[in-house]
A and B are shown apart, each in its own frame.
Chain A
Amino acid sequence: MKLILSTSNIMSGGPSVIRRPTFEKSNTELTSSLRANFAANQSSSSNAPTHHSHSLDSTLNGDCTRPSFRDWTAQEGDTLQIPAHAPSPLTEPREAYDITVKLFYLPNIPANRRCIQTREAIDLVLRELGTTSIDLLIVSFPGISFDADDEDSDSEFEQSPSSGPASTEDGETAPEDIETMITSWRTLEGLHEQKIIAKLGVAEFGCQRLSKFLPKTRVRPSVDQINVRDCCVVPKPLILYAKKEGIELLTHNDCTNVLPRGTLREILGAGEKGVGVLSGEGRGEGLKGDVEPQWVVKYTAVVKDRGVVESKGYFAVAELREA
């Protein structure tokens, strides 16, 4: 079964969007806004007049406060929306907005799925915002992280001879090789040619990786988005190289592994911190099986000449397989 998780517009979501410097583990925004959106939908469904038998089940399970997930999710065929979701189209004419989308390919997911995943992600975002094009799509490949203190941080990875992504012992993912990235990039180039995406971008690329990547692209990235806590320490060579190649260096605050499997399992699970979509240890009426995050997409629509973020949110898709 396919699970589509959504945050809705997190700009109106309150505390979940505000990260404090003290716990700036940067996937907080996604996970806490998912939790917040689930909780809001749960409570709104439990306040609504109950006409489902599931509530009896939850009572029997000794969990009087939690409504059945069936009350606030929506299943269509083999797809479950968590929560049930309908698009919130933008209110002003399209040209008023700058729409940026960031697509996170996740570790340990075969790269050959990306072509379909990419189209699926873009489709979801376009439908959500009620539009047919986006201004900038940034892709985040798994396993790359930008280390501002080490100018050559991305050179050592090239030693890895394996093609596809591989897990190291400590659970970190090694970056994939340039060829795999380029294969994924071709899909994006296709969307660019169809005028669905105006500009493309990459994330966390250092000089080395950029110089290997650029010659193989048909549509060059116009943006390299880097995560730097103190952006005043961006290595000079990268600044110069980006300037020379006409690539804009943008800042962000996401982490590469934006939705680890364990985190997702916890959010959806039957435990104290979960919402009971998945069953746990014989408890609850939740779904059974192994959950595997596939990809995450973040979208942001900014009213250009006012600098106001009107809509921002995430979709995450996971596969649920019978164990």
Chain B
Amino acid sequence: MGLLAIGTPLEWPEAKKVASHVRSWGIEQLLAIWRNAKGKERDALLWGDEVEYLVVCYDEKKHKVRLSLRQADILAALATDEKLLHQGGGIADAQAGTVRGNETIAPVFHPEFGRFMLEATPGKPWGIGFKDLLDVEPNMKWRRTIAKDHMEKEEYPITLTTFPRLGTPDCTTPSYPVSGPKLRSQFVPDEIANPHIRFPTLAANIRARRGRKVQVNVPVFRDENTPWPWRDPSVNYDLHQWPEDDDVRNGAVTDNYIHMDAMAFGMGSCCLQITFQAKNIEEGRKMYDQLSPLGPILLALTAATPIYKGFLADTDVRWNQISRAVDDRTPEELGEKPLKNDRWRLPKSRYASNSTYISQDPRLRREYLDPSLVIDTDLKQRLLDGGMDDLLATHFAHLFIRDPIVVFAEDLQELDLSKADHFENLQSTNWQHMRFKPPPPGSDMGWRVEFRPMEIQITDFENAAFSIFIVLITRAILSYDLNFYIPITKVAENMETAHVRDAVSTQKFYFRKNPFSERPVSRPSASGTASPVANSRPPTPVGPVEDEFELMTVNEIINGQAGSGFPGLIPLVESYLNSMNVDVETRCELARYLDLIRKRADGTFWTAAKWIRHFVQTHEKYGKDSVVGEDIEYDLVKAAERVTEFEGRDGFAAEMFGRRR
């Protein structure tokens, strides 16, 4: 998450008044960027990964672990580390950037929403050279080492998606009182968020726009001794400090659901995101579309989030909780009240799965699109008038149905077409599972696509494996011109399915049966070179869209179906690798990564969610009542640290890795 310029943020009623203004300037900036960059060609594949950490702090004497809120101190230590700066690393703003040629560049650290979080990226983007692929895992390990070196000795950067008991009393250090003016949460203090003015404003304005606090309810896992119906025992119904304290008395809490009420419960989750640079805008649009249907599959496969606020949840992934934690929709937009002041009903939060496809690909059938997609027709018309094609204009006109949440007064004085601030204001607060990113003005960067659904894994080995797998999948997609299109609404359904406990082993997902296009026939032509002879035969008969896809298990999607069914993503990647000149050592390393993914998909190895759940349920202090107490949490975080260090080589957590060399 990049920090945008600082200034005087408008409080919600004022920000609301200038929303149209910001949107229309954002659209003008987008048009300027698009005109400028739509002809960019032959950009190399560059890609980057982002790893996010929770900073935990052990209290050995009390056998307790808390979140450390020292993000700012840790970043300050990183920013002043001369050696790190000399190596081109540090933090985003303090990067020295004087590195020569082939020198290894130190990683870069970034703040995140949670004050207990840290994000780290490689010092420079990766290429497709196989050597680069092998550098990813050591680089991730290096990042963690550097992060750890700039922490206190009782602190540790852990890659769990969520802190198991976030939102319980005494879960942070230092400790602060809850019910602050910004979040008004009865579970977490305002100080849980990054103090940069952007973040508290974001949280406060989402709450204000909604007219109440966010409502993050996640079903509780029902164990033998879980009282049923289950009523979240940690909810306080007797607070009377803020108007929002009425929320819990007005139905915000639901039976059998864990109740949370602040942005931090979602945006405080860690994920693994990969960004690719495409060769041109068209390739970027194709990657965006083709990776979209893979999103839910990779979400299910990386599942790592079975605990919230000290209770076992009945779901395995973070996605919907983040979605609800930043859901700024009003009762009218949600359909709870008739539309009066708002413009439309909105079926999804601004954090949600993709809602449309954008590639000008003849294989994109109209039927794949969502006919009820909400768009701002005026803004779409402006984009069309500016020369943009219908599909892309539709995409952005859909993103721009939202209001800007954080607006700085200083930015509204003059429209600067050489900047992207207003465009990014909307673009970067639409958190869909893919993001299509135009080149920043004034840079020589290309069009990029970000793959966002994956959960962070406990070890750097796994994080490298999933990153590299996605990179190789994109290369296979482009090389074989693969077609994964299914109706976009099915992708959204799959996203829900991915939440189910142990979805990897128990659920089926809509997926396209045949990813290949019909073989083009090349015939000699007058010019002596091949030309397609598609005209000489009748158009390919196109069957009903429903016949193109079916329900498949994650195992079938990853490893392939029997017979002439779907070939499987891993066999596709293997086939791609067989077409490349790969040296023995590299192929062996890549085989380790692909083997992990193969076996996670077929159930041989457990997901982190399954392992964490099992750890809790077999802990001696667990009362089979869904409660994850402080002792269990301490042992779990310690265990996760051990897994991070040894990656199963000591025989611990072999369920996730098998026997590792």
Q: Which A residues fall within an 8 A CB radius of B?
A: 8-9, 11-15, 17-21, 36-37, 40-41, 43-44, 47-48, 74, 84-89, 92, 96, 98, 100, 130, 136, 223, 226, 228, 230-232, 234, 239, 248-253, 300, 302, 305-310, 312
C-alpha spacing A312/B476, complex, angstroms = 13
Residues of B near A100 (CB, < 8 A) are 581
- Most B CB atoms within 10 A — which of A40, A44, A85, A306? A306
CB-based nearest A residue for B520 = A12
Q: Which of B159-167, B210-218, B525-533 contacts A (4 or more CB under 8 A)?
A: B525-533
Residues of A near B475 (CB, < 8 A) are 306-308
Closest 7 CB pairs of A and B: A14-B516, A307-B128, A86-B524, A305-B44, A47-B537, A309-B479, A253-B578
**A40-B521, A230-B591, A306-B279 given; A48·B536 CB < 8 A:** yes
Q: How far is the CB of A111 from chain B (nearest CB, A)?
A: 27
30 pairs, A vs B, C-beta closer than 8 Å = A11-B579, A12-B520, A17-B480, A19-B578, A20-B560, A21-B571, A40-B519, A43-B537, A44-B523, A44-B537, A47-B537, A84-B523, A86-B522, A86-B525, A86-B528, A88-B522, A98-B581, A130-B529, A136-B581, A226-B584, A231-B587, A231-B588, A249-B585, A250-B582, A251-B583, A305-B44, A306-B44, A306-B475, A306-B478, A309-B580
- Point out the residue from B127, B517, B523, B582 that lies within 8 Å of A14, measured CB to CB: B517
Are B480 and A12 touching (Cβ within 8 A)? yes
Are A48 and B537 touching (Cβ within 8 A)? yes
Interface size on B, residues (CB 8 A): 48
Are A74 and B583 touching (Cβ within 8 A)? no
C-alpha spacing A15/B566, complex, angstroms = 9
CB-based nearest A residue for B531 = A86
B361 contacts partner chain A, Cβ-Cβ < 8 Å: no
CB-based nearest B residue for A16 = B519
Residues of A near B518 (CB, < 8 A) are 14
B157 contacts partner chain A, Cβ-Cβ < 8 Å: no
Are B521 and A18 touching (Cβ within 8 A)? no
Are B533 and A20 touching (Cβ within 8 A)? no
Are A250 and B533 touching (Cβ within 8 A)? no
B362 contacts partner chain A, Cβ-Cβ < 8 Å: no
Binary interface profile of B, 467-495, with partner A (CB < 8 Å = 1, else 0)? 00000000100111100000000000000
- Point out the residue from A15, A47, A250 that lies within 8 Å of B567, measured CB to CB: A15
CB-based nearest B residue for A229 = B591
Q: How far is the CB of A8 from chain B (nearest CB, A)?
A: 6
Are A307 and B580 touching (Cβ within 8 A)? yes
Are A12 and B481 touching (Cβ within 8 A)? yes
CB-based nearest A residue for B519 = A40
Q: How far is the CB of A61 from chain B (nearest CB, A)?
A: 24
Residues of B near A92 (CB, < 8 A) are 42
C-alpha spacing A40/B520, complex, angstroms = 8
CB-based nearest B residue for A14 = B516
Given contacts A14-B519, A231-B587, 8 further A-B contacts (CB under 8 A): A19-B578, A44-B521, A47-B538, A86-B528, A231-B591, A305-B44, A305-B128, A309-B576
Are B44 and A20 touching (Cβ within 8 A)? no
Residues of A near B575 (CB, < 8 A) are 17-19
Are A20 and B571 touching (Cβ within 8 A)? yes
Are A18 and B571 touching (Cβ within 8 A)? yes
**A18-B572, A305-B128 given; A11·B480 CB < 8 A:** yes
